Amino acid sequence: MIAKRLRRSLDDAICIRDIFEEGKKMASVYGKENIFNFTIGNPSVEPPAIVNESMKEILDQEDPLTLHGYPANVGHPDVRAHIADYLNRTFDCHYDENGIIMTSGAASAIVVICNTLLDYGDEVVTFAPYFWEYKSYVESFYGKLVPALCDMKTLQPDPQTFEAALTERTRFVLINTPNNPTGAVYTDASLKKVCEILEKKQQEYGHPIYLVSDEPYRKLAYDIEVPYLTHYYKNTIVVYSYSKALSIPGERIGYIAMQPDVEDMGDLFAGMTASMRYLGYVNAPSLQQKMLLKCVDASVDISIYRETRDILYEGLVKIGYTCIHPDGAFYLFVKALEEDDSKFCEAAKEEKILMAPGSAFYGPGWVRISYCVPAKVAERSLPAFERLYQKYQK
């Protein structure tokens, strides 16, 4: 018998992995080339060569007992100093190594933050549509995830909805730009408004409300600058991951970054350090940390994702679908052609198209297309999308 809490969450889950697996089965029946599986966000562009080169060099050069031994829970000091230095040069910030904690990707960073900040019943506000795992992360620590729906005409945060979502129990706001599932990059104007409201609410409630910026897609932005949130709000905690930037989600490496003037910084750092141990991470993988000494700023070739995005976005709009131009990540959020997005996804399967229903992301009536597929697959899918569209016109 498993915990009731987990049982409930398993029963509620719309499992996108299941749809992905179904797509794999369909591929074995109809042929891989005839299935358009746009379900999961698994990078499809090769990691840059520097990743392997750097790992090989470290394996050859570092003292094996140091490399494979336990580092400090928060990570190797030279790596943390290197990251702080890189962030300061790139974003004009003032980090030091004592504000950097190496983590096993963004997922573990967020749960470490939840463990550090949440007491029973505390609230976390996030902009919806949102990455579906956020709910499980927060509920695992007996917190409550409160969605603040974006303006669905622009996919930007809606200030009024956001303000109404904040309460005395709000411990932090979880923001994700470029966004999964919409591909939206939140604008300077949207972020200014969000931070103004946060500043006002902090004053009103008399305690900090942290802004946790989950940034696994920062490097995947197409001809647009992704604003750096510490410039907008002092109590910002940045979560970064190399999973998508370097196409290495299996390697589990990322970090938490906090500037020295974040409120209660000493407690936060001590709490997060202990949380690394208590949650069983102990430390982020040592070799992957050291690898970053050579590729802190590296990125996959994003022109490949951009090409696929353009094919799909332009193709779908031409057919008649409604979608808002996505400026980042590798997702396209498309309005379903009927109210029930799950039924729409079922109908799409008849055309061998697999997509994730928007309801899984608190975006009912929409679907998510994960376009981390080769451009030629995107191209070949367009006639299938056209047939699907025509069915709904009858």
Is the separation of the CB atoms in 215 and 237 below 8 Å? no
> Is residue 331 at the binding interface for ligand PLP, with CB under 6 A as the rule?
no
Closest by CA to 356, choosing from 373, 379, 333, is: 333
Query: Can you name the residues that pair with 236 across neighbouring β-strands?
Result: 211
Residue length of the chain:
394
> Is residue 147 at the binding interface for ligand PLP, with CB under 6 A as the rule?
no
Per-residue interface string for the shown chain with ligand PLP, residues 48-87, x marking contact by CB under 6 A: ----------------------------------------
Task: Find the shortest distance in angstroms from Cβ 244 to ligand PLP.
Answer: 7
List % helix, strand, coil for the chain (3-state, nearest 5). Answer: 50, 15, 40
The only residue of 47, 227, 254, 358 in contact with ligand PLP, by rule CB under 6 A: 254
Helix axes 341-349, 16-30, angle to 10 degrees: 20
Task: Find the shortest distance in angstroms from Cβ 248 to ligand PLP.
Answer: 9
DSSP letter string over 89-142? HHH-----GGGEEEESHHHHHHHHHHHHHPPTT-EEEEEES--THHHHHHHTTT
Q: What residue type is assigned to position 285 of the chain?
A: P
Whole-Å CA distances, 344 to 130, 197, 359, 385, 389: 20, 37, 12, 12, 11
Task: Find the shortest distance in angstroms from Cβ 216 to ligand PLP.
Answer: 5
Size of the site for ligand PLP (CB under 6 A): 13
Task: Find the shortest distance in angstroms from Cβ 4 to ligand PLP.
Answer: 26
- Kindly indicate which of the ranges 60-68, 241-249, 292-300, 371-379 contains the residues binding ligand PLP, using the contact rule CB under 6 A: 241-249
Report the 10 Å Cβ neighbour count for 89.
10
> Is residue 361 at the binding interface for ligand PLP, with CB under 6 A as the rule?
no
Whole-Å CA distances, 247 to 137, 171, 217: 23, 32, 11
> Is residue 249 at the binding interface for ligand PLP, with CB under 6 A as the rule?
yes
Per-residue interface string for the shown chain with ligand PLP, residues 160-189, x marking contact by CB under 6 A: ----------------x---x---------
Task: Find the shortest distance in angstroms from Cβ 109 to ligand PLP.
Answer: 8
> Is residue 41 at the binding interface for ligand PLP, with CB under 6 A as the rule?
yes
Is the separation of the CB atoms in 328 and 184 below 8 Å? yes
The only residue of 16, 26, 74, 106 in contact with ligand PLP, by rule CB under 6 A: 106
Toward ligand PLP, which CB reaches closer, 248 or 354?
248
The only residue of 71, 75, 216, 227 in contact with ligand PLP, by rule CB under 6 A: 216
Toward ligand PLP, which CB reaches closer, 146 or 284?
284
Maximum C-alpha span of the chain:
69
Give residues in contact with ligand PLP (CB under 6 A): 41, 105-107, 131, 176, 180, 214, 216, 241, 243, 249, 254
